[in-house]
Amino acid sequence: MMGSGGSVSVRSPATVANMVCGFDVLGFAVNDPYDEMHIRFTDEAGIIIINEDEYNLPTEPELNVAGAALLAMLEELNEPIGFELRICKHIKPGSGVGSSAASAAGAVVAANRLLNDRFTKEDLVRFAMNGEKVASGVKHADNIAPCIYGGVTLIRSIFPLDIIELTAPPLYVTIVHPQIEVRTADARGILKQQVLLKDAIRQWGNIGGLVAGLLKSDYELIGRSLEDVLIEPVRSILIPGFDMIKQQSKEAGALGGGISGSGPSIFMLSKDESTAKLVEKEMHHIYEQLGLEHHTYVTTINQTGVKFIK
């Protein structure tokens, strides 16, 4: 297939991992923001990465999350194939909305189309997790899976990989990204390695409640279950104004929410767009008071994941 002139362009969505209580096991894709990527075959085996954005990320394939994912794919193919990948990131690295996952997932989904969809979605998640290892030192799929599958996903197991697609009622998502960086590796480094049994039991109840609430379209149950007693109390100290944003958002009508991934972005879920926009106003107000530059998004759950564009 090398040198055949084939090329593919995709939009790869941001994702919200953990969904408050589901650390490393729950995540969903959103419609905005997204990365844009273009891949084509080359005449020589190997991977060429070209950045078309301002972030100056590594272009050596083994040091780039998209490159690492493609290397894993090529290793399994064991054929002399070459790709040129152009990446234009709109999801800021270190923002907490799956920037690394968007690059890794988008790359393998696009490459797979060039290969006539030789691999399954589960295979693609497996390849893309190698990109997450480059970013954070750990293979995790709670951003990768929803990026590839779309919607809300539950990762029941990593080894072996077991991904469950979850249905969900209509939900509006308000995200605020304070312009600070929280590196995933650092956010993992501060977590406790042991937890109390009573806290674990409470967390299991919240995860079960959240999954049940999504499947039953029970907004009240979803709201009650958006509680994290293990991770959020530790990580929230890294995010200015976190407690205030959470409190004011709920008072504005949000069902609940919390840290998106490892932060610093914060997300809130609402039943309708008008509430989501009220939540956005509260977020603006709080960060303006704190004098902290920030970006906000009011969006919805992306049901398709990585999208092919002409």
Catalytic residues: 132, 184
- The answer for residues whose C-beta is within 8 angstroms of residue 295's C-beta and 6 or more apart is 176, 177, 179
Distances (CA, A) of 276 to 115, 205, 284: 41, 26, 12
- Nearest residue to 256 (alpha-carbon basis) of 274, 269, 242: 269
DSSP, residue by residue, 247-266: HHHHHTT--EEEE-TTSS-E
Query: The dihedral of CA 27, 29, 30, 36: what is its sign?
Result: positive
Alpha carbon 103 to chain centroid distance? 10
Q: Which residue has the tokens 């002399």?
A: 80
SS3 25: coil
| Other beta carbons less than 10 A from residue 116's beta carbon | 8
Query: How many residues are given for the chain?
Result: 310
